[in-house]
Structure 1
C-alpha cells in the first residue's frame, strides 16, 4: 500500500502543478474571476492532499499494523476527486450546482486527517 499511495501522491502532485499552470495561463481572462478562484482553490487542495498522501506512506511505514492510515489515504483521494474535481468541473463548465458536491470532499479530507491523528494516538 505504501508504494501505491506514494505513486498516486507523486502523480497527483505533478498533475496539480500542471493544472495550476493551465489555470494561470489558459483560463485567465476566459472564465469569470470567481470561477478562476474556485479552480485555483481546487488546485491548492489537490496539492496539499498529494503531500498528505506522502504523510500516509510515512505512517504506513511507521505503523504497518494499523489500518487507519490506509483509510486516511483513500479518504484523501476521495476528497481530491469530490472537492477539487467538483471545483474544476464547475469552473470549466459554469455548472454552479456542482458546489453542492464540494463539501463531500471537504468532509473526506477532515476525516482523513482525523484518522491519521488517531493512528498516531494509538501507536
Structure 2
C-alpha cells in the first residue's frame, strides 16, 4: 500500500535504520543521504520517510510531503554550499528514465558544470 513501508525496499530500510547510509539531513518527513555512486561532487538523495514509488504518486497521496521533499532538496544544496553556483534536482520516474529504486527520491547534484541536456 502506498505510504506504508515496503519490506523489500532499500530506501524504506534506510529510513528504518536497517541499512547504513551517510545521512546529511533528517526531518520529520524526509531523510537525505549521500549517493553511493555519485555523479557530481555533490550528489545527495532526498527521500520521504513514507513509501511512494514515484514523484507523481507522492504528489497525489501526500502533497505536503512532496513539498517537504523539494524544500529539503534546497536545504541540502545550501548546506552543501552548491546553491550559489547552481545545482540540479532530478526526480527519475520509471526504469526507462533511470529509476532503479522505486521509492521516490530527489537527486541533488552540484559542484560541477551541469550542462543540459544531461548525459
Fold match by TM threshold 0.5: no
TM-score calculated relative to the size of structure 2: 0.28
Please say which structure displays the higher CA radius of gyration.
1
